[in-house]
Amino acid sequence: MPDPDVTTTRRALLVVDVQPTFCEGGALPVAGGNATAEAIARFAASHRDRYALVVTTQDWHIKPRHHFSDTPDFVDTWPPHGVAGTAEAELHPALAGLQPDASVRKGAYAAAYSGFEGVDEDGRTLAKILRDARITDVDVVGIAESHCVRATTLDALDLGLRARVLTDLTVPVTAELGAAARTEMAQAGAELVPSVQV
């Protein structure tokens, strides 16, 4: 995906699904979600000049078929969450000052874990947004590490982007699922680093 004629690194920050619905008090909370949102906001504010582009992704479900269930198995089916038009589906209040360059929403009518399955308000996919900005590298942060961060990172690598996951700016659903996701992402070629190293 990166332009072979471009030798300069152009890095984007991908802020994945940092929404109240995935934080304490939300419909599908991940322990540590609120603290992670606040940490991402601080990092983005102090490192904005290091990124050519900042993009957010959001679950934005309307009728996502079998993704929602009254009797969820928490593997393929889940309680309703990230419902389009609700406060829980908006970006976390901690990100109020983020001012992303682009925002992608996903999962309107189907399950969508990767940010690359979404589009912005102009119908552009995340891949197109990054390609148009000549992005070569992405740093991925957000919620949850074991699900949407993992899927977004793997898709970025599949597109030929270099990817880093900032390990202190993401949180998994469970420690076990987080460990498995980190192993998979590393084996696929992602760099796993704490934000202090970037």
The model's pLDDT over 27-45, given as tens digits with 9 standing for 90+, comes to 999 999 999 999 999 999 9
Is residue 3 over pLDDT 60?
Answer: no
Sheet containing strand 102-106, edge to edge, reads: 102-106, 53-59, 11-16, 137-143, 162-171, 191-193
Query: Tens digit of pLDDT for each residue in 45-88?
Result: 999 999 999 999 999 999 998 899 999 999 999 999 999 999 99
Q: Is residue 171 within 8 Å of residue 144, measured between CB atoms?
A: yes
Q: Is residue 2 situated within a structural domain?
A: no
Residue 1 lies inside a defined structural domain of this protein: no
CATH of the domain at 162: 3.40.50.850
Task: Report how far residue 120's alpha carbon sits from residue 194's, in angstroms, rounded to the nearest whole number.
Answer: 29
23 catalytic per annotation: no
Length of the chain: 198
User: What pTM did the predictor assign?
Assistant: 0.94
| Residue 135 lies inside a defined structural domain of this protein | yes
Per-residue pLDDT reduced to its tens digit, 151-195: 999 999 999 999 999 999 999 999 999 999 999 999 999 999 999
The structure tokens listed for 145 are 């590490």
The whole domain housing 157 covers 11-197
The domain total for the chain is: 1
Q: Is residue 97 part of a domain?
A: yes
Task: Identify residue 76 by its one-letter amino acid code.
Answer: D
148 is catalytic: yes
List 23, 59, 139, 148, catalytic entry? 148
